[in-house]
Amino acid sequence: MLTSVILVCFANIYVYAENSCQRKDGGYDVTINVRGQPSKEIREVIAFHAYISKDADRLVFDVTKANQGNGYNSNTGVFTCPKTGMYVFVWVIRMVTAEHSTELMINNSVFGSTFLRAKKGDDGSVSGTAIAHVSKGDTVYVRNHSAYAGDGRILSNLHGKPTFSGWLLQ
């Protein structure tokens, strides 16, 4: 009779062998016990991507290309966080004849901003990126700068579209 305990630990599973008995043929009979749950980390995907479909005044990204988790509302342009965590947000603004600033709002506070200047007749794009801890129920959207919206017109066509995207990191 051989009493040995072999402990193997990987992820959150414990596998150990005990009560090994030597058989007549020289081999061992080993009882294996497994404790704990297999690590089945369920990664919930939350992600959205939307764009402004036509030249506009409003910063409402009205066409939704992806909306896993259903957090984004294309009527209001507001993402309402379905799950607390670290998120990435990216927004792109394309305008013509503009001097314009936008703000990324998280939970009604300014979290990021962009500035774009395009001379008369010219157009251009600017993008902003933010990584933020957002709680369930918090709202995220893009608006004109509260103190300095400037001027210009949003452009959207085959050559370039203003977009707003976000996804959960963890």
Distance CA 135, CA 129 (A): 18
Q: Which residues pair with 18 in a beta bridge?
A: 31
Contact flag: residue 41 with ligand NAG (CB under 6 A) = no
CB of 129 to ligand NAG, least distance (A): 20
Contact flag: residue 85 with ligand NAG (CB under 6 A) = no
Q: Which is nearer to ligand NAG, 59 or 92 (CB)?
A: 59
Contact flag: residue 35 with ligand NAG (CB under 6 A) = no
- Non-local (6+) Cβ contacts of 26 within 8 A are none
Question: Quick one: which of 53, 73, 90, 138 contacts ligand NAG (CB under 6 A)?
Answer: 138
Question: Quick one: which of 41, 57, 147, 159 contacts ligand NAG (CB under 6 A)?
Answer: 57
Contact flag: residue 17 with ligand NAG (CB under 6 A) = no
CB of 78 to ligand NAG, least distance (A): 13
- CA distance to 5, 7, 28, 50, 139, per residue, from 34 (Å): 13, 10, 19, 47, 44
Burial class (CB in 10 A: 0-12, 13-18, 19+), 67: middle
Contact flag: residue 151 with ligand NAG (CB under 6 A) = yes
CB of 20 to ligand NAG, least distance (A): 55
* Residue numbers 97-116 binding ligand NAG by CB under 6 A: 100, 107
Span of 28-36, 44-52, 145-153, 156-164 interacting with ligand NAG by CB under 6 A: 145-153
Contact flag: residue 144 with ligand NAG (CB under 6 A) = yes
CB 144 within 8 A of CB 98: no
Place of tokens 């959150």: 12
Q: Which residues pair with 145 in a beta bridge?
A: none
